[in-house]
């Protein structure tokens, strides 16, 4: 049976206790206390004993840890002083997973919050490199990830995260792409940082409108934490708020509607393998096309997706979306007339 994250965290605490030179031969009570402090929750004696048994005997996780009990000191110890579960040999599939995850982390190395831990990603990668089957040249030859160019605004991520966690109101100086040249100051009660299409967005209540607004970090020109302002949390569920959207924009008055799109067979096959949205349903299929329904809010990103599919898609309904796409296509054609 696969181990859980909580169980693995308990294993790590037990391992640290047994390797501690400052407090050798930790007692059962001392180890349990350390686990409860680390996990911030109570654990039973039976849970502790099951964890010890799993570390000693079970093929999953497969540590086979040399844990002994010293009757004189009434405490536990490793019979092999050099043993640690951190030295446990990773499986090939574990190495592959860590290698890919680390390479993906490297794509975000320009995000300032990661720079607070200099060399952390490189340290992880060096450990993986020491254990992996492929050398670096082979890895780059067999697996290539998309390069993410630096994006303006990432320097605000740490400040915004702290404001969200601390329930602090922010003054955000915002320069919209279509707006006043000097920009506008907003008082924002921040709720969420959301990433979309390699860009970051702040989601929060704009105080002047008392509505949820989205602010692209690349358009933020400055922030100030207002400690004297009372933070307000209106009803906001991130999962529900974005549950019927493609992308990041949620027009204020728009409600989800049934969207029906008819795709060429080749493009439809792509959507079968990688659905556009969780509400996607296949309702008709023949030799030439596949037709899907979605429950979506009509927004900029949805229209952009449809325009990107050009001749491989047809909007069946609603009429509002069909008219919007026709209008955009006609405007585009005029540029080539």
pLDDT at 120: 54
pLDDT at 324: 95
pLDDT at 106: 63
> What is the C-alpha separation between 107 and 164, in angstroms, rounded?
25
Looking at 170-184, 191-205, 210-224, 283-297, which range is the least confident one?
170-184
Tell me: the pLDDT tens digits for 3-41? 777 888 898 899 999 999 888 999 999 999 999 998 888
pLDDT at 144: 67
pLDDT at 130: 43
Cβ-Cβ contacts under 8 Å for 166 (sequence gap 6 or more): none
Quick one: average pLDDT of 74-86? Answer: 88
pLDDT at 329 over 70: yes
pLDDT at 128 over 60: no
pLDDT at 279 over 70: yes
Q: What are phi and psi of 264, to 5 degrees?
A: -60, 155
> What is the C-alpha separation between 134 and 2, in angstroms, rounded?
27
Quick one: average pLDDT of 296-310? Answer: 95
pLDDT at 81: 86
Q: What is the DSSP string of 59-106?
A: TTT-----EEEETTTTEEEESSTT--GGGSPPPHHHHHHHHHHHHHHH
Which residue do the tokens 């020109």 mark? 221
Tell me: the pLDDT tens digits for 216-243? 999 999 999 999 999 988 888 888 889 9
Verify cis geometry, omega within 30 degrees of 0, for the bond prior to 158: no
Rg, C-alpha atoms of the chain: 27
* Mean confidence (pLDDT) of the chain: 84
pLDDT at 302: 96
pLDDT at 78 over 90: yes
282: helix, coil or strand? strand
* Confidence band for 198, pLDDT divided at 50, 70 and 90: confident
> What is the C-alpha separation between 97 and 193, in angstroms, rounded?
26
Quick one: average pLDDT of 327-333? Answer: 94
């Amino acid at each position: 049976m696969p181990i859980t994250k909580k169980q693995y965290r308990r294993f790590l605490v037990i391992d640290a206790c047994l390797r501690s030179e400052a407090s050798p031969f930790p007692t059962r009570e001392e180890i349990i206390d350390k686990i409860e402090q680390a996990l911030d929750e109570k654990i039973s004696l039976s849970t502790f004993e099951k964890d010890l048994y799993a570390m000693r005997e079970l093929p999953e996780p497969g540590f086979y840890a040399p844990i002994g009990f010293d009757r004189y000191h009434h405490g536990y110890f490793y019979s092999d002083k050099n043993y640690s579960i951190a030295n446990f040999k990773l499986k090939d599939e574990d190495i592959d997973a860590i290698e890919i995850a680390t390479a993906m982390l490297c794509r975000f190395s320009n995000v300032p919050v990661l720079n607070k831990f200099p060399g952390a990603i490189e340290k992880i990668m060096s450990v993986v490199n020491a254990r992996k089957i492929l050398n670096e040249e082979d890895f780059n030859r067999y697996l290539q990830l998309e390069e993410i160019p630096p994006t303006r605004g990432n320097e605000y991520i740490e400040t915004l995260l702290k404001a969200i966690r601390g329930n602090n109101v922010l003054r955000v100086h915002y320069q919209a792409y279509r707006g006043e040249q000097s920009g506008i100051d907003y008082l924002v009660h921040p709720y969420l940082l959301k990433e979309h299409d390699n860009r970051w967005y702040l989601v929060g209540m704009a105080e002047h409108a008392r509505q949820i607004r989205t602010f692209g970090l690349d358009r933020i020109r400055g922030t100030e934490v207002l400690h004297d302002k009372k933070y307000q949390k209106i009803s906001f569920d991130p999962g529900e708020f974005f549950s019927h959207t493609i992308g990041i924009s949620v027009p204020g008055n728009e409600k989800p509607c049934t969207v029906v799109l008819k795709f060429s067979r080749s493009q439809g096959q792509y959507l079968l393998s990688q659905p556009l949205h969780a509400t996607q349903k296949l309702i008709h299929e023949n030799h030439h096309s596949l037709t899907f329904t979605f429950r979506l809010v009509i927004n900029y990103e949805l229209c952009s997706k449809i325009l990107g599919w050009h001749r491989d898609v047809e909007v069946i309904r609603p009429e509002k979306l069909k008219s919007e796409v026709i209008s955009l296509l006609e405007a585009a054609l005029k540029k080539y007339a």
